[in-house]
């Protein structure tokens, strides 16, 4: 029996922000800006890798906060409810997934790492996540530069009529 295996990258948002110097610096002036920067980075990564990314920000000390889930392009951003840590949300979420799914959780929290491993997920540190992202970015640049070379040599739009071009554009947008 063939199973439909899904790939997930679940990120403890504040843990990663505090682990990466670039984001930590931004967070000192604006936590919102640091969150958005992390979200942008992960969107690009998820788009390129095809992994479903979930970034969890805890609202543990935020009075009267309710759980909020934002579906964005290629990722889901979760803000936990008051008194709920990102760790507890991640543990609960992992329990809802199939044991056949490929699940990576990015956190530097040692206790969380042990629980993640016990639930069958793979743990990656903030440093490993950064390396994965840098590698993906490098691959994106390579892919884009090779696409640029192709585009410079071969302008399809110069050889097709407007109606065909319009149909191709509509097909491209659907995917």
Q: Do 109 and 87 form a contact (C-beta atoms < 8 A)?
A: yes
- Domain assignment present for residue 49? The answer is yes
Closest among 18, 13, 6, 19 to 131, alpha carbons compared: 19
- Domain assignment present for residue 161? The answer is no
- Domain assignment present for residue 120? The answer is yes
- Domain assignment present for residue 19? The answer is yes
- Domain assignment present for residue 127? The answer is yes
Does position 92 have pLDDT exceeding 80, yes or no? yes
33: domain CATH number is: 3.40.50
- Domain assignment present for residue 175? The answer is no
Region 120-129: mean pLDDT is: 89
Region 124-143: mean pLDDT is: 88
- Positive or negative, the CA dihedral 61, 16, 86, 36 is positive
Range of the domain at 37: 7-132
Q: How many domains does the chain have?
A: 1
What is the pTM (predicted TM-score) of this model?
A: 0.76
- Domain assignment present for residue 55? The answer is yes
- Domain assignment present for residue 155? The answer is no
């Amino acid at each position: 029996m063939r199973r439909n295996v899904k790939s997930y990258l679940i990120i403890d948002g504040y843990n990663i922000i505090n682990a990466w110097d670039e984001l930590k610096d931004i967070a000192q002036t604006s936590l919102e800006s640091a969150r958005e920067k992390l979200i942008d980075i992960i969107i690009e990564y998820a788009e390129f890798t095809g992994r479903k990314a979930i970034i969890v920000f805890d609202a543990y000390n935020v009075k009267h906060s309710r759980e909020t889930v934002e579906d964005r392009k290629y990722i889901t951003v979760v803000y936990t409810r008051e008194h709920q840590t990102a760790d507890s949300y991640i543990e609960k979420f992992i329990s809802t997934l199939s044991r056949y799914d490929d699940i990576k959780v990015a956190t530097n929290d040692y206790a969380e790492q042990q629980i993640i491993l016990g639930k069958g997920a793979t743990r990656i540190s903030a440093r490993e996540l950064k390396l994965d992202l840098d590698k993906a970015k490098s691959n994106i640049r390579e892919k884009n530069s090779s696409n640029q070379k192709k585009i410079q040599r071969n302008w399809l739009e110069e050889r097709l009529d407007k109606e065909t071009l319009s149909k191709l554009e509509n097909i491209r947008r659907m995917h």
